[in-house]
Amino acid sequence: MDLNTKHKVQAAFSMSSMTDIIFLLLIFFMLTASFVTPSGLPVNLPSSKSSTIVMQKVSVTITKDLRYFVDDQRTNIRRLPDDLAAALKGQEGVVVLHVDKSVPTEHLINVASIATSLKARVSVATQPME
């Protein structure tokens, strides 16, 4: 009496469907993630309790030795209004200020007033508190 079956069950598992699902999840998370353009200049930002992320159009950085940068291009305080106007291209936009926490407040206010005179919204970048 022969009890062996003609249809044997294979013990191998195909991973192709699992990799398809993982790939689709990876694409989904990449497309739904919020993209933020970080400033390429190292400044020590102040911290705050509510640190919201703003999609920035123009970044203005003031380092601790009072060097000014508009979108990673070095400028000075006299050329700053022209450089900001060129970066905003005559339209209303968002200017994100990356100011080192050791910089006196008057420099922050000067840059913010220049940006608001150009009809731009001003936001100050901070680090979240822990």
Sequence ranges of the domains in the chain: 47-128
Got the DSSP string for 4-37? --SSPPP-----HHHHHHHHHHHHHHHHHSPP--
Our measurement of the distance from residue 130's CA atom to the centroid of its chain's CA atoms, rounded to an integer in Å, reads 19
| pTM of structure | 0.58
Class of domain 47-128: alpha beta
The tens place of each residue's pLDDT in the chain, 130 residues long, gives 566 777 777 777 777 788 889 999 998 888 777 665 555 666 666 666 665 554 547 889 999 899 999 988 899 889 999 998 888 886 778 888 888 889 888 998 999 999 888 888 888 887 877 6
